Amino acid sequence: MAAAAQGLVRMPVWRARFVLAALVAGFLLIAGRSLYLQAVKTDFLQEKGEARYARVLEVPATRGRILDRNGEALAVSTPVKSIWAIPSDVSLGSTQRKKVASLLVMDAGEIDRRLSDGSRDFVYLKRQVSPETAEAVAALGIKGVHEQQEYRRYYPAGEVTAHIVGFTGVDDAGQEGVELSHQALLGGRAGSRRVIKDRLGQIVEDVESIRAAQAGADLTLSIDARLQSLVFGALKAAVEAHRAKAAAAVLVDVRTGEVLALANVPSYNPNNRTRLSGAQLRNRAVTDMFEPGSTLKPFTVAAALESGKVQPGTLIPTAGGRMTIGRYTIHDSHPAAAMTVAQVIQKSSNVGAAKIALGLPREAMWDFFRRVGFGAAPPVGFPGAASGRLRPSRTWQPIEQATMAYGHGIAVSLLQLAHAYTVFATDGELVPLTLVKATTFASGEKIVSTETARAVRAMLELAVQNGGTAPRARIMGWRVAGKTGTAHKQENGAYAANKYLSSFVGFAPASAPRLLFAVMVDEPSAGQYYGGSVAAPVFAQVMQGALRTVGEPYDAPLEPIQLPGEGDDDAREST
């Protein structure tokens, strides 16, 4: 017992206390650490943890399609791949290099050149290859060569719609035409989001949307692909037949102000834009100014009718087709002692138009030209629309007022001219033009009285009858009205003797106009150059097809057109 009691050594109390304190301290340490991690460092740790399985994904925005008024595609983006490389990572064997070169249809030396630039860590080997090619390149399994998804824009109608639709650059941003003017709408905005992926790479949870992607919206144009193709074909044929330098045309629906077709020759293929010349790229109908010549006479007459100074039947002395102002003499190709105002339009008399203009105050004439839209870019939403040239009236000399009456000394674009003619195609309203499909009828600004508009329309109808300047503009089944123009081209400040610009602006059916067509042919050089023999037949061809396409009822007896023979004396004009 005693031995046992002796064996029970009583431990000093401090040892137990020490162990207890150590244990408590240990627990406190752990609690403190966990508190620190949970409360203070929690954001950092969660972020680190998430980074193990969370990924930020780019959400690409596809570019909207461009459609014609019937929903036919004019521009569509489809995905393609771009092949890029990190030069310092790539070591190509010669067989591999050959393979890559043949797959990408590139020169092997070109590949070497691109890869030799060690200072960059990103070079494109080739952009926009087909998904199949990209797959084949990826199958080679070359280290440092990667692919990237991109979009490429295709234009199925090619050169026919090239100038309206325009094109995008390699970065999918609009560079010309509607692609440029409606970039904001079509472009959309790429976004990004953070997601959680599982070990199979599948997305299992959406953490947050960093930036919402916005897909580009589709754009429906006012263009009718059928009419566009008709107009383009007619222009191309005219340029060939008359060995002209260029041609342009605009077809407008008068009731809505929609541009149904707008074509230029020469054109280009927007799908393959290597070796493009400026002449091909130019959208002449919209961006080029020219002296319109006689196509401007109806505006002079309309201004005079509005002022009340003349009536359609008023006799204008045309002095045998010659008129001298200062040092200048104005000629007529159809001299007469006197003509009525209507005949001035019908026979396209320069002297008559000049006399009518000189009876007007120059401010009134300027104001009228201004109100039909000359000298200001038409608000059609198109890049580079020309505003034309209309000098302030206080600088006009009498000779200038006289020449302006028949379209010289003033410059307009074809689009402006077409726009201005809507005044005569409607009952005096200037209809705003649009390239985007309209849902309602347009309401224009009233420029001239209904009587004036109808009177001028009647004169324009006379101009296409036998005895007028453009009998070749007539078509079977519909009454048409219009005016020819043949202008000497200016070169280095002087008028070139044998370079002409033939034009025709007209509309049909004349009883209730629906379609308005303006066409100009630049430098026809196959002998004929009068607007009545170069531009008017294009008008007839297009108008006939277009009226049939839109299903316009006939307003004229269905009899074959009796044209005066080639040698016959139909009126011509010299401006």
Pick the binder of other proteins from 198, 240, 367, 445 (CB under 8 A).
198
Residues in the chain: 575
Pick the binder of other proteins from 206, 240, 445, 491 (CB under 8 A).
206
Per DSSP, helices labelled H in 174-310 are 177-181, 183-187, 225-241, 278-281, 284-287, 297-307
> Could you give the CA distance from residue 505 to residue 215 in angstroms, rounded to a whole number?
41
Pick the binder of other proteins from 20, 30, 173, 203 (CB under 8 A).
203
Q: Please state the closest distance from residue 72 (CB atom) to other proteins, in A.
A: 6
Q: Please state the closest distance from residue 228 (CB atom) to other proteins, in A.
A: 8
199 binds other proteins, rule: CB under 8 A: no
Binding mask 121-160 for other proteins (x = CB under 8 A): ---------------------------------x-xx--x
Binding mask 496-535 for other proteins (x = CB under 8 A): ----------------------------------------
225 binds other proteins, rule: CB under 8 A: yes
Q: Please state the closest distance from residue 66 (CB atom) to other proteins, in A.
A: 11
Contact call for residues 472 and 446 (beta carbons, < 8 A): no
Nearer residue to other proteins within complex by CB, 441 or 495: 441
Binding mask 468-497 for other proteins (x = CB under 8 A): --------xx--------------------
* SS3 label, residue 74: strand
Kindly report whether the peptide bond that precedes residue 471 is cis, defined as omega within 30 degrees of 0.
no
> Could you give the CA distance from residue 314 to residue 304 in angstroms, rounded to a whole number?
11
Sequence-ordered list of residues with C-beta below 8 angstroms from that of 80, at least 6 positions apart, any chain: 128, 129, 130, 131, 134, 150, 151, 152
162 binds other proteins, rule: CB under 8 A: no
Catalytic-residue membership of 294 = yes
* Full 3-state SS string of 267-292: CCCCCCCCCCCHHHHCCHHHHCCECC
> Could you give the CA distance from residue 377 to residue 379 in angstroms, rounded to a whole number?
6
> Could you give the CA distance from residue 471 to residue 30 in angstroms, rounded to a whole number?
104
Pick the binder of other proteins from 7, 308, 527, 551 (CB under 8 A).
551
441 binds other proteins, rule: CB under 8 A: no
* SS3 label, residue 219: strand
* # binding residues, other proteins (CB under 8 A): 32
> Could you give the CA distance from residue 92 to residue 113 in angstroms, rounded to a whole number?
13
Which one of 294, 349, 393, 413 is the catalytic residue?
Answer: 294
Closest Cα to residue 345, out of 330, 337, 334, 360?
Answer: 334
* Tokens representing residue 503 in the block: 């034009």
Per DSSP, helices labelled H in 372-436 are 398-405, 414-425
Residue 23 to residues 27, 31, 72, 206, 555: CA-CA distances in angstroms?
A: 6, 12, 82, 45, 110
Binding mask 70-89 for other proteins (x = CB under 8 A): --xxx-xxxx----------
365 binds other proteins, rule: CB under 8 A: no
> Between residue 9 and residue 28, which ones bind other proteins under the rule CB under 8 A?
none
Q: Please state the closest distance from residue 524 (CB atom) to other proteins, in A.
A: 24
**Angle between the N-to-C axes of helices 297-307 and 350-358, in degrees from 0 to 180, rounded to the nearest 10:** 40
56 binds other proteins, rule: CB under 8 A: no
420 binds other proteins, rule: CB under 8 A: no
> Between residue 322 and residue 361, which ones bind other proteins under the rule CB under 8 A?
none
Nearer residue to other proteins within complex by CB, 332 or 552: 552
Q: Which residues bind other proteins (CB under 8 A)?
A: 62, 65, 72-74, 76-79, 154, 156-157, 160, 198, 202-206, 225-226, 229-230, 233, 476-477, 545, 548, 551, 553-554, 558
Catalytic residue numbers? 294
